[in-house]
Amino acid sequence: MAELTTLASPLDVGGVRIRNRVFLAPMSGITDEPFRRRAHAHGAGLVVSEMVASGELAKGRAGCDLRIRHSGLPVHMVQLAGREAAHMGEGARIAAGEGADIIDINMGCPAKKVTGGYAGSALMRDLDHALSLIEAVVGAVSVPVTVKMRLGWDESALNAPMLARRAEQAGVKMVTVHGRTRCQFYQGKADWRAIARVKDAVSIPVVANGDVGSPEEAATILEQSGADAVMIGRAHYGAPWVAGGIATAVGGAKTQGIPQTPQELIDYVVLHYEDMLSLYGAESGLRQARKHLGWYLDRHAPDVCAEQRKRILTSFEPGDVVAELRRVFVDGAQSTSLRSAA
């Protein structure tokens, strides 16, 4: 797997140095500050904020500040979504003013609530309009601008190479391609070979995304796509260390901080939980954290009884949640083996 050695090397994105080529994908409601900090600490080369609606950001809507604020990491990358050029430009200016080193434009989200507003992957249905948004963002900031897209809207319109080429001409410094169309959502297998057509169309770095969760899959997607880097999303559910594990493994180093024992795992999960409560406040934090707790259970304690799982995911008392987690991961029978996705 000679291709894997490439992943350990730095990558230049419009003058910003990225330490390696295995990235954490932006995921709405998931890649908040506590999650990004963990992924970075484990060795991910680049971590990206949750998608931020440019219109809401431009209008100063509450909560947007948490998504764009600088977390103190070496490279702060903020992803914006929207359909109005003025809002995209203003959102980019605000994010750059908060310290964003790179602005990413979302043209790949398949969610109906996003595409229904003619944002996300819906923009691939009108490349002229998509380019107007790109030009607005590039013209608004001095930091590098990147774009994340899909192969196209559906199988009849696989226009990612054309969008990437026009984006590069407009000043974009890197593109990421998820190997599915919007209409596929996350069904079937990502078409890694189709990403190669985007790589052939541009001279800027191309990042391949979709269905990667192991060093073997990372090697294969690089071979089939010819991409310069890999971006990993859903494989991080319940395992914020996946990208870092791949990057450090191919670089010959040991991944930092992956829990190896039941006690280490529960300490890790509890600290993540407490960090989320601290960020969002107890009431909102309890709700925000439940999906993460569910994924930790799914991955590391799949046989937990329904009653215990319900108590963990519905309790409004943080102390009770932590106590129940300790019973599952430390005292429970299923705590005997831990699995690392990397």
Instruction: Indicate which residues carry an active-site annotation.
Output: 109
Apex 312 CA angle, 244 and 30, nearest 5:
35
**CA neighbor of 28 nearest in space, from 71, 102, 94, 80:** 80
Angle between helices 282-300 and 262-280 (to 10 degrees): 150
Cα separation, 169 vs 154, whole angstroms: 24
Cα separation, 320 vs 296, whole angstroms: 17
**CA neighbor of 106 nearest in space, from 54, 153, 62:** 54
Apex 136 CA angle, 133 and 140, nearest 5:
145
**CA neighbor of 160 nearest in space, from 233, 229, 227, 73:** 227
C-alpha distances (whole Å) from 286 to each of 174, 176, 188, 265 are: 36, 33, 33, 20
